[in-house]
Chains A and B, each alone.
Chain A
Amino acid sequence: MIRIENLTRIYDRTPVVNDVSLTVGAGQIAALVGTSGSGKTTLLRMINRLVEPTSGRIWIGETDAATIAPHLLRRRIGYAIQGHGLFPHRTVGQNIATVPRLLGWSAPEIAARVEELLHLFQLDPAQFRDRMPHELSGGQQQRVGVARALAARPEVLLMDEPFGALDPVIRARAQGDLREIQRRLGTTLVIVTHDMEEAVTLGDRIAVMDKGRLLQYGPPAEILTRPATDFVQALIGTGERPFRLLSLTRVADIREDGTCDGPAVSPESSLRDALAACLWHGRDCLPVEGGGIVTLTALRARAEGARAEAMATAGEGAQSKAPQTGGAAQ
């Protein structure tokens, strides 16, 4: 768990991070979004004290981060930086072993852990362990960077735009893999991203930042249906809203009994994908793998329900926004 209380960082008398409070529950993913220069990286780097806060507090589990030596704190917190930052003079295996070595693990323990992580990230140890970073593709470097951050089984993992350099196909897979690995290890994860899509896909909660302030912090559905300010609304992109909402729900959740023709969709795919498939094949319904169907009517009802919810909140006016933001930020 990470608890951030009234965190502020001032550079040249300008607050770059301004009185931010938020809590990330154990095993949860928080996605930090915001425009360039909004203070996301600074906020992230204050969590492992690469940047010292001007004021405010950070709790990692039950520990006040300010009370332990920075390098000891950082060994407990995984950190994957933008552009991977692998050590160019060390092999893949040595890179991954960095923190375990700092912590004084035994050689067999380290070797076993490196092996395990390479498997986890689908890099064949025999082939990749002794390669140098420059002998890897961009996507492989990125995975090694994340593997290195996870090596000493940190309770907390910080990632700064880890998938920025990847093409859309690889990026989607990397996101899926990250989600799965995070669930399996129960890691608490804070991930910075430019990409709303990525935030919606990955985040249990999304934190929207602008000019150093936390505008809204809540589950994706809440951010999408009840944006706290015009800025958040603009960030979501009005045109994209229905699709983003649909992408939050799996086909399995609106499956109906019945049969119909057409190519089957996976129950694990999102409603957004199901809608796309219906439109593409020109059908009102499609079969779901393993039985049942998904209908265009049900998809539309879903989108409309969400829209109605959004309109209702907008009608309620400003008084609901303040407590909602504050409440979410705890």
Chain B
Amino acid sequence: MTDLQISATGGTAGRFALSRTGLLFAALGAAGLALPLVQFKPNRIVLGDALWLPGALPFGWLAAALIACALFAALPQRLSHGLRLALAVAGLVITLASLGLAAKGLMPEGNRMARVAPAAGFWLLFLAFALMAADALARMRPGLKTRWAVLAGGILLVGLALGSGLLDQTSVMVEYAARADLFGRSLRQHLLLAFGSLGMALVVGLPLGILAFQVPALRRAVLSVLNLLQTIPSLALFGIMIPLFGWVAANIPGAAQLGVAGIGIFPALMALFFYSLLPVVSNTLVGLTSVAPEVRDAAFGLGMTRGQVLARVQLPLALPVVLAAVRIVLVQNIGLAVIAGLIGGGGFGTFVFQGLNQTAMDLILLGALPTIFLALIAGIALDLSVEALSRRGRSAP
């Protein structure tokens, strides 16, 4: 993350020094301007016509010029991080507004078949400014509270951008409008899949990890079984669940009444649960074993019982490591839950696989974008929690 000093006239050119990351973002942005902003398609399956930013909307040249200015202004190394962040946010707003306005202007009145889809140019511009914002934020070294605020602010901004109606005519939002109900249901199912499997993994994995810690003879066996589970490719694991639970539902009395089934949300939940077990169990074990022996010794020496040592000393000290597992599992499961769509488990995977079947990119995006967004939020929120906890506890040796 060091900045490169590019000096025009020997040693006295500090004012002309360019930021290395700034150059990268500018290059990305320039590529974005050079590529088409949107794709106009008479219907959702054909490829359609590419439109560049200057021609895609009424004041297109102005928008392109503003974007170029923002990229250029962020080049000097000595620019303050706050200003850089402001430029990045401005760039994001202009890029999004251009997309929305282009879609509004291009969509023929009353035509339900046509689509205005974001194209490579849009994605590159968006990426350039998003990276610039993240880079500037990271360099400001904000405290924990500020980072929570930034996360909340980011979520709020996305909400505003979608809620304002600005983007309503873009292809993904048109697909959304046609399926608002299904989207809501998929969101709930997706969250249920990710958080439900995590919850189950914690309920089973924490005690299992503690047990493996207390009974060293069990460790190897438990870990190798879980490792084996982890190596099964995800599609295969979901596939195995179908006949397995199908058989259970059919042959074990009462199982079907309890919701056990070969297809639907149950086998998907179980597959995700199996995937989550290893990180939870092994991190619990690692966290407990990494408690310094003299700390454990002192706890026993002062007269704590085994249970008290576990509850008051070992588990609290293992907590950051366990939370790291929660982070891994949650982010992993938010992503993997997409595959549930394949076996009728619901979630955003429903849109992704429908889209794949119909070769409708917009529909795939309708499933993929919110999945990425959820994973991002969960990852950041848990990183912040882990940091808060480790800061409170054992920062220095």
Contact = CB atoms under 8 A, between A and B. Distances in A.
B119 interface: no
Contacts of B297: 50, 81, 85
B82 interface: no
A143 interface: no
Contacts of A99: 302-303
11 contacts: A74-B301, A74-B302, A75-B303, A79-B302, A81-B297, A81-B298, A85-B292, A87-B313, A89-B394, A102-B302, A134-B396
B294 A50 contact: no
A88 B317 contact: yes
Chain B contact residues, majority secondary structure: helix
A132 B299 CA distance: 17
Given A72-B303, A99-B303, A102-B303, A86 B317 contact: no
A88 B317 CA distance: 8
A81 B299 CA distance: 11
Nearest 3 interchain pairs by C-beta = A85-B298, A75-B303, A134-B396
B289 interface: no
A40 interface: no
Contacts of A81: 294, 297-298, 301
B396 A83 contact: no
B392 A48 contact: no
A102 B299 CA distance: 11
Interface in B295-323: 295, 297-305, 308, 313, 316-317
Interface in B339-397: 392-397
Given A71-B303, A102-B303, A102-B308, A86 B395 contact: no
B302 A88 contact: no
A39 B392 CA distance: 38
Chain A CB count within 10 A is highest, among B295, B299, B301, for B301
A74 B303 contact: yes
Nearest to B305: A71
A148 interface: yes
A120 B378 CA distance: 48
A89 B392 contact: yes
Contacts of A83: 294
B295 A134 contact: no
Chain B CB count within 10 A is highest, among A81, A84, A88, A99, for A88
Nearest to B313: A87
Contact of B397 (A50, A72, A134, A148): A134
B394 A79 contact: no
Given A81-B294, A88-B394, A134-B397, A50 B317 contact: no
Contacts of B304: 71, 98, 102
B68 to A, nearest CB: 50
A82 interface: yes
Contacts of B393: 88-89
A87 B298 contact: yes
Interface string A73-103: 1111001011111111100000000110010
B328 to A, nearest CB: 22
B302 A86 contact: no
A207 B313 CA distance: 35
B302 A75 contact: yes
A85 B300 contact: no
Nearest to A98: B302
Contacts of A73: 303
Interface string A140-152: 0000010011000
Nearest to A88: B394
Given A48-B301, A99-B302, A134-B395, A85 B294 contact: yes
A145 to B, nearest CB: 8
A137 to B, nearest CB: 12
Given A81-B294, A82-B294, A134-B395, A89 B316 contact: yes
A110 to B, nearest CB: 14
B294 to A, nearest CB: 4
Given A50-B300, A74-B302, 13 more contacts: A50-B301, A71-B300, A72-B303, A73-B303, A75-B303, A85-B294, A86-B295, A87-B298, A88-B295, A88-B394, A102-B304, A134-B394, A145-B298
